[in-house]
Amino acid sequence: MAKLPFERPIIKKINIGVPNKIGMKTEYTPITEIDGVSVKQMIKEYGSPVYVISEKTIRETYKKAYSAFAVRYPKIQFAWSYKTNYLNAVCKTFHQEGSWAEVVSGFEYDKAIANKVKPQHIVFNGPDKSREDLIKAIKNQSLIHIDHFDELYTIISLTSELNETPKVAIRVNMDTGVYPQWSRFGFNYDNGEAWDALNRIMISKKLDLIGLHAHIGTYMMTAEAYKIAGQKLSDLAVKLKEKYNHTIKYIDFGGGFASKNTLIGAYLPGSDTCPSFDDYAEAITSSIINSKIKPDDFPTIMLETGRALIDDAGYILGTVLANKKLADGSNSTVIDVGVNLLFTSFWYEHQITPAQEFSPYTENTTIYGPLCMNIDVIRRSANLPIMKKGDNFVISRIGAYNMTQWMQFIALRPKILMIDLKGNVHIIRENEKLKDIVSMERTPEHLNNFDV
């Protein structure tokens, strides 16, 4: 008998009805409503796709985060990270809860002022503050977090010009055991640069050094890194006390807490693996209370948490446009939500849930957006219930960064709704219209006549 040719073994997952510890299916029940409001009704009334923000979830998440810190430490202040989601309705919800504003550009600074945040309660971060921005922030007594020596010297030179004493902190970067290390922002702790900057501020006698700041990274999957940051920042505070008898008023730990989203390629869902607010709060507060800072000098702990406070409150609702087989025989589904509206699909495996009843069968499919661009992939491979053209779905946990990093590309951006605590639906941003986009264009006269 002829020997059979070798064929490599394959492992094939059986999809129907066989549970494993991870769970075969990604979805078990449809999402038919958000905060009591029907998903299909919102699509019917406001169009597809449409973003939805839950005011209730924002407030609940904020309270949970705040109390995790407040039960462990007496002086806590949050500042809302504008770039994470700077829709006015979202910012004002956070401001009503007690958050100050954290901004990283002149545009965001002006937005916070227009939102009526007290200027002294605006934290101004980032490497790009223009001379005009700095003058405004100095006159307003806003909290300027210095990013580099060039900025420090500009501020010192402005003090004599303006005859003001700016309120400043420095941003410090450091090795916290998480790599790659973000050393491009602020002054490095480990090589002595941060201490050098602090000495220059103190001997200038022209600045009111009120804080120390670090924002060590984003989507930090270990709370331990914050403890190390806290130890290093406390060390600087203690040295300032020893050398200058100077007490700083706050230590700002920045943001970076992970949301419950799942990173692409992760084995377990983010909701199972990411630290909780309690974990972060425990690490941060213990780094201060166990430091050599004297209790009378304990600084306010400031937090600029972004994604972890807003991700869960945001949804995008949409419609299936088509199902098609690819040339290799695999399935694909085309939906009306593309990467232009869901920028975070470049790093998250977003949860997509049908908005109507479905059968127990699931299949692997690639989810494509509607753009005429090969990069427009929402999920490379999703094990989803079968959906057909016209079916609706809900993509959850998209409140962070999508409504600021979105692109007006190929299509116009849709409406954004907010569901208030009573279940009323508000349009908080209108859908874009052709006239909005062309209103910024100017056509040279000689291009206006043609015959095609």
Interaction between residue 397 and ligand PLP (CB under 6 A) = no
Please report how close the Cβ of residue 433 comes to ligand PLP at its closest, in angstroms.
Answer: 31
Interaction between residue 256 and ligand PLP (CB under 6 A) = yes
Among 234, 261, 291, 305, binds ligand PLP (CB under 6 A): 305
Among 85, 93, 218, 365, binds ligand PLP (CB under 6 A): 218
Identify the three-state secondary structure at position 271: helix
Whether residue 156 contacts residue 168, with contact meaning beta carbons closer than 8 Å, is answered with no
Determine the interface stretch with ligand PLP among 88-96, 225-233, 248-256, 268-276 (rule: CB under 6 A).
Answer: 248-256
Interaction between residue 254 and ligand PLP (CB under 6 A) = yes
Please report how close the Cβ of residue 376 comes to ligand PLP at its closest, in angstroms.
Answer: 24
Please report how close the Cβ of residue 123 comes to ligand PLP at its closest, in angstroms.
Answer: 8
> Site mask, ligand PLP, residues 109-128, x = CB under 6 A?
----------------x---
CA separation for the pair 440, 434 (Å, rounded): 11
Interaction between residue 255 and ligand PLP (CB under 6 A) = yes
Task: Decide: residue 188, CB within 10 A, 0-12 exposed, 13-18 middle, 19+ buried.
Answer: middle
Q: Under rule CB under 6 A, which residues in 308-347 are in contact with ligand PLP?
A: 308
Identify the three-state secondary structure at position 240: helix
Determine the interface stretch with ligand PLP among 249-257, 314-322, 378-386, 410-418 (rule: CB under 6 A).
Answer: 249-257
Interaction between residue 307 and ligand PLP (CB under 6 A) = yes
What would the DSSP string read from start to end of 21-45? SS-S-S-SS---EETTEEHHHHHHH
CA separation for the pair 8, 19 (Å, rounded): 26
What is the torsional sign of CA 197, 200, 202, 206? negative
Q: Under rule CB under 6 A, which residues in 56-95 are in contact with ligand PLP?
A: 81, 83-84
Nearer to ligand PLP, 278 or 432 (CB): 278
CB atoms within 10 A of CB 242: 10
Interaction between residue 167 and ligand PLP (CB under 6 A) = no
Among 230, 306, 314, 414, binds ligand PLP (CB under 6 A): 306
- Two tokens at 61? 């998440």
Whether residue 395 contacts residue 355, with contact meaning beta carbons closer than 8 Å, is answered with no
Whether residue 291 contacts residue 230, with contact meaning beta carbons closer than 8 Å, is answered with yes
Please report how close the Cβ of residue 240 comes to ligand PLP at its closest, in angstroms.
Answer: 22
Please report how close the Cβ of residue 304 comes to ligand PLP at its closest, in angstroms.
Answer: 4
Backbone angles phi, psi at 54, to 5 degrees: -95, 110
Residues forming a β-bridge with 266 = none
Determine the interface stretch with ligand PLP among 66-74, 252-260, 353-361, 382-390 (rule: CB under 6 A).
Answer: 252-260
Interaction between residue 369 and ligand PLP (CB under 6 A) = no
Q: Are strands 50-54 and 416-419 parallel, antiparallel or unpaired?
A: parallel
**How many chain residues bind ligand PLP (CB under 6 A)?**
18
Determine the interface stretch with ligand PLP among 34-42, 254-262, 284-292, 408-416 (rule: CB under 6 A).
Answer: 254-262
Please report how close the Cβ of residue 218 comes to ligand PLP at its closest, in angstroms.
Answer: 3
Nearer to ligand PLP, 344 or 396 (CB): 344
Q: Which of 366, 358, 359 has the alpha carbon at shortest distance from 383?
A: 366
Please report how close the Cβ of residue 11 comes to ligand PLP at its closest, in angstroms.
Answer: 37
Q: H or E segment at 64?
A: helix 55-70
Nearer to ligand PLP, 259 or 333 (CB): 259
Please report how close the Cβ of residue 415 comes to ligand PLP at its closest, in angstroms.
Answer: 24
Interaction between residue 186 and ligand PLP (CB under 6 A) = no
Determine the interface stretch with ligand PLP among 89-97, 201-209, 302-310, 387-395 (rule: CB under 6 A).
Answer: 302-310
Interaction between residue 176 and ligand PLP (CB under 6 A) = no
Interaction between residue 102 and ligand PLP (CB under 6 A) = yes
Amino acid occupying residue 318: G
- Two tokens at 331? 């399935």
Nearer to ligand PLP, 80 or 393 (CB): 80
Q: How far is CA 386 from CA 26, 34, 163, 356, 382, in A?
A: 12, 22, 68, 11, 11
What would the DSSP string read from start to end of 107-161? HHHHHHHHTT--GGGEEE-SS---HHHHHHHHHTT-EEEE-SHHHHHHHHHHHHH
Cis check: omega of the bond before 180, within 30 degrees of 0: yes
Contacts of 402 (CB under 8 A, 6+ apart): 51, 314, 316, 341, 342, 343, 344
Nearer to ligand PLP, 48 or 287 (CB): 287
Interacting residues with ligand PLP (CB under 6 A): 81, 83-84, 102, 104, 125, 215, 218, 254-257, 304-308, 400
